[in-house]
Amino acid sequence: MNTPSDSNEDPGSISDSVSSSSPVTSKGAGVATATDGQTEQGSSPLRTVLEWIVLIGAALLVAFIVKTFLFQAFYIPSDSMVPTLIRGDRVLVNKLSYKAHEPNRFDIVVFLAPKGTETDLIKDLVKRVVGLPGETIEGRDGRILINGTVIEEPFLPAGLQSRTFGPVKVPPKSYFMLGDNRPFSKDSTYFGPIEGKTFVGRVFVRIWPLNRLNLL
């Protein structure tokens, strides 16, 4: 979140091409050529400025289109997704993912903060999709159960305990979102399932810091 060159005709060469028996014509040709050269030189700086304006405008337009419809960078301001994402990480979100398919379990998603959770600085949240539409999700004995069956979450550190909650029936077109830092994440265990229409996009790569660059 991405030179014209000027050439002047040589009046001398034009003058040399005119017969010596026509001094008036030779003088007139020389004056005319000098005037044309001055006009071209005078328009050159303006043309350069206009070209830069067009280039900058085109670059801004491309950046706007990319940010609005394709990809957007986000800064991670909290520890709710530790260890997958830590405070200060910067990630890139694909805004087209869910135009092509429905969200998948365990996708990491940026979505609009539910009413009452947003602040002046935080308008979006990042969590992981765990419960899908129509499923019943429950936190029991430190594990997550979907429709009564414990699911495996290999991205979590060994021994990490999830909160006790539910069971909760996930409404149609909604998703149950959990942070990887389960004991300290304010997620759907607080604000409930999230409607898919609030999804900004899928987090697919960590771009900063460079030593943590990685696909997600």
Q: Which residues are catalytic?
A: 80, 127
- List, in order, residues 6 or more apart from 173 with CB less than 8 Å away: 133, 195, 196, 197
Taking alpha carbons only, the member of 63, 80, 101, 73 closest to residue 203 is 73
Find the helix or strand (DSSP H, E) in which 24 lies. helix 23-65
Residue 91: φ, ψ to 5°: -125, 160
Beta bridge partners of 203: 93
Taking the C-alpha atoms of residue 91 and residue 178, their distance in angstroms, rounded to an integer, is 18
Beta bridge partners of 146: 137, 149
| b/e map 173-189, b = 16+ CB within 10 Å | ebbbbbbbbbeebebbb
Taking the C-alpha atoms of residue 29 and residue 10, their distance in angstroms, rounded to an integer, is 11
